């Protein structure tokens, strides 16, 4: 059994990557903070973390924005951690440094260099050890992985799925961009950072048409063309929402939706974290690591594609490097399968909604938010 830690007043945690990554780690961060309620928690993150988390209720008290550091805050090679950064962080005299970032080949030396009283986190076979660590293995759900790290420092799981708090500014951002939102709204999110995780845009369009609901199609600025493909393929009107909302505003929009249909990507996790039902498009390996842990309000559809559709390279063996092809690995998931789960969730919600506010009433026309 790991010995308890006493006298922890200053905690620093490394998790400097994307939105979905942070949300999957949030229950672990909460467990660590709950184990040391008098401590302050500093997150070593990136600019989006600071923008989204500053002033937002949650376990993170402050964000320190890291410069590009290879394997820590960027995947680009050639970026070393500045000496002055270590000096500044070491001067904070952290009692506990937690690595919930990955296998640790790059991040464990970085965390050890912070000079904290105790270090804890993950360790792959090629990584340096920390004072307390659990093995990093390729196929383990990310949230459970980080809860194991939390247990190393006294953390007890409070909940398994993340929740985030919305603010008045989040809600105001949605109203400013879109106006009044209609009852029964459904959001489609056709993008994903890895193009292999993208369900075909015409499939999203087909589902949107057949639901018969007011539809918004969300995406980042880099996903504008993909959002346009969906809206142009639809026979019914749909409102594109591209680059018009920050993460807080997007969360508030999703919170007002009855359902979000998305690929395995940060926005699906964001929708779930504000309590909205989701239908997720998943490749089997990603479902193991990042799928929803409950099924009452979250319905993942799974592709069992095991190899690249172009060259046959294995997608299941972690030792096999990524091939250079980017076809969809989830295109075998049928429209009918997604539609079935979406309708089931929406019908359940309609049955619970008071009659005067059901979606059969007058519909509000959304403003275009592109």
Q: Rounded to an integer, what distance in angstroms lies between the CA atom of residue 155 and that of residue 153?
A: 6
162 in a structural domain: no
Q: Are residues 226 and 290 in the same domain?
A: yes
Q: Are residues 134 and 203 in the same domain?
A: no
Task: Taking the CA atoms of 100, 50, 82 and 7 in sequence, report the sign of the dihedral they define.
Answer: negative
Single pTM value for the model: 0.95
233 in a structural domain: yes
Find, among 334, 339, 283, 279, the residue nearest to 307 by Cα: 283
pLDDT digits (tens, 9 = 90+) for 318-331: 889 899 999 999 99
Q: Are residues 126 and 215 in the same domain?
A: no
262 in a structural domain: yes
Q: Which tokens in the block code for residue 232?
A: 């142009």
Where a domain ends, among 107, 124, 152? 152
Q: Are residues 137 and 194 in the same domain?
A: no
327 in a structural domain: yes
What are the phi and psi torsion angles at 82 (to 5°)?
-65, 140
Domain that holds residue 213: 168-357
**Residue written as token pair 């993170």:** 60
Structural domain count of the chain: 2
103 in a structural domain: yes
Per-residue pLDDT, 3: 67
CATH of the domain at 335: 3.40.50.2000
Q: Are residues 133 and 17 in the same domain?
A: yes
How much is the CA Rg of the chain, to the nearest whole Å? 21
Q: Are residues 196 and 72 in the same domain?
A: no
Per-residue pLDDT, 363: 47
Taking CA atoms, 3 is separated from 22, 275, 276, in Å, by: 27, 36, 39
Q: Are residues 259 and 328 in the same domain?
A: yes
Per-residue pLDDT, 360: 43
Where a domain ends, among 97, 118, 152? 152
Which residues in the chain show pLDDT less than 70? Answer: 1-3, 355-365
pLDDT digits (tens, 9 = 90+) for 59-72: 999 999 999 999 99
Q: Rounded to an integer, what distance in angstroms lies between the CA atom of residue 233 and that of residue 214?
A: 16
Q: Which tokens in the block code for residue 206?
A: 């087909």
Where a domain ends, among 118, 152, 186? 152
């Amino acid at each position: 059994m790991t010995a308890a830690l006493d006298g922890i007043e200053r905690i620093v945690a490394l998790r400097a990557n994307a939105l979905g990554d942070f949300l999957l780690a949030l229950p672990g961060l909460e467990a660590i903070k709950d184990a040391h309620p008098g401590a302050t928690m500093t997150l070593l993150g990136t600019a989006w973390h600071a923008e989204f988390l500053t002033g937002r209720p949650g376990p993170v008290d402050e964000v320190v924005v890291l410069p590009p550091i290879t394997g820590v805050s960027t995947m680009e090679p050639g970026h070393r951690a500045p000496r002055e950064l270590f000096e500044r962080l070491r001067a904070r005299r952290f009692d506990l440094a937690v690595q919930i970032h990955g296998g640790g080949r790059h991040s464990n030396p970085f965390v050890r260099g912070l000079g904290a009283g105790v270090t804890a986190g993950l360790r792959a076979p090629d990584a340096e050890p920390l004072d307390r660590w659990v093995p990093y293995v390729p196929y383990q759900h990310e949230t459970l992985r980080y809860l194991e790290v939390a247990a190393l420092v006294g953390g007890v799981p409070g909940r398994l799925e993340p929740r985030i708090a919305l603010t008045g500014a989040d809600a105001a951002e949605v109203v400013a961009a879109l106006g009044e939102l209609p009852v029964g709204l459904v959001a489609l999110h056709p993008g994903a950072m890895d193009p292999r995780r993208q369900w075909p845009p015409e499939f999203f369009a087909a589902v949107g048409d057949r639901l018969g609901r007011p539809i918004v199609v969300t995406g980042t600025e880099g996903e504008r063309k993909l959002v346009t493909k969906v809206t142009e393929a639809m026979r019914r009107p749909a409102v594109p929402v591209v680059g018009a909302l920050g993460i807080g505003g997007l969360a508030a929009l999703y919170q007002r939706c009855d359902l979000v249909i998305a690929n395995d990507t940060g926005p699906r996790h964001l929708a779930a974290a504000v309590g909205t039902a989701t239908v997720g498009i998943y490749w089997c390996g990603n479902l193991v690591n990042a799928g929803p842990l409950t099924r009452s309000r979250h319905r993942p559809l799974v592709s069992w594609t095991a190899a690249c559709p172009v060259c046959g390279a294995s997608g299941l063996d972690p030792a096999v490097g990524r091939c250079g092809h980017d076809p969809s690995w989830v295109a075998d998931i049928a429209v009918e399968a997604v539609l079935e789960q979406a309708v089931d969730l929406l019908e359940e919600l309609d049955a619970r909604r008071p009659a005067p506010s059901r979606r059969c009433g007058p519909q509000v026309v959304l403003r275009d938010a592109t």
